[in-house]
Structure 1
Amino acid sequence: MSLQDSQSQSLQDTSKSANCTAMSDVLNRIGDKWSVMVVGILGQNGTLRFNELKRMINGVSQRMLTLTLRNLERDGLVTRTIYPEVPPRVEYQLTELGKTLQKPITALWDWSSANHGSIMDARSIYDARSEALAASEPRKVAYVRG
C-alpha cells in the first residue's frame, strides 16, 4: 500500500479532528460555487482564456474569477500557461488531478438541474409555513423608559 493510499484511508475516519480539518480544507475549495463552475466549464470546453471563462460564468467578477483560478492552480487542479505575445495570452486548463473532478461535478450539476424545481417548491412551502407561524404568534412589545 502506498503512502498516499494509507493517508487516504486514514482520512476516512472523521472521528479524528485532524481528519475533519483536512476534509474541510479540500471540500471548501472544491465545493465553493465558483470552483465548481470553473472546473465544470474547463471540463466541458478544454483550454480557455480568462475572458472566455468570465463570459461563460454568469455573475462572476473579475476579482473572484482571478482568486478562484489562483486557488485552483495552487491546489494542482488547474494549470495556467502564459504565452510571450503582445498582449500576453494566458490560458487555463484542468490538470490530470482536476480532470478527476469532472465526473463528480457533472453528477452534481445534473442533480442540481433535475431537482431545482423541487427545491424551489420546498422553499416556498417552508417560507409560507414560517410566515403563517410568525403571524399567529402574539407580538412581543418592548417598552423603553425615557
Structure 2
Amino acid sequence: MLWVKAFHLVAVISWFAGLFYLPRLFVYHAASEDTISKERFKVMERKLYQGIMTPAAAVAILLGVWLMSFNPSYYMSSGWFHAKLVLVVVLFGYHHACGRLLKKFALDQNTRSPVFFRWFNEFPVLILIAIVILVIVRPF
C-alpha cells in the first residue's frame, strides 16, 4: 500500500507541476509578438499537456482508485474524502479548460490577455491547498 501511495503522490505532484506551468506558458505566449516565440510556445504547451499533464492525471486517478480499494468502506463513509473527490473533479475541469485554451493558442485564436492568464494560473493553488488540508487534517 505504501508503494501505491508513494507513486500516487509522485503522479499528483507531476500533474500539479503541469497545471502550474502550462498557464504560465500561456501568460508568456499571450504576450509574445513574434512568430518564432509563438511557435515555440505551441510546441512547449502541447508537449507539456499531452506528454506530462494528461498521463500524470491518469496515473494519479488510477493509483487513487487502487488506494481506495484497500479500504473502500472507510473512504466512502468519510466526508473529507467526498470533498476531496469534488475538488478532483473541479481540477479535471480546469485541466480540460487548459486543453481548450491550448487548442485556441495552437490555432492562433487566443483572445485573452496575459493578465487573464496570470489570474487563471492561481486557481490550482487554491485547489491544492484545500486538498492537502482535507487529506492531512481530515476535518470531517
**Structure (1/2) with the larger helix percentage:** 2
Larger radius of gyration: 1
What TM-score does the superposition give when structure 2 sets the normalisation length?
A: 0.31
What TM-score does the superposition give when structure 1 sets the normalisation length?
A: 0.30
- Higher relative contact order at CA 8 Å, sep ≥6: structure 1 or structure 2? 2
**Structure (1/2) with the larger strand percentage:** 1
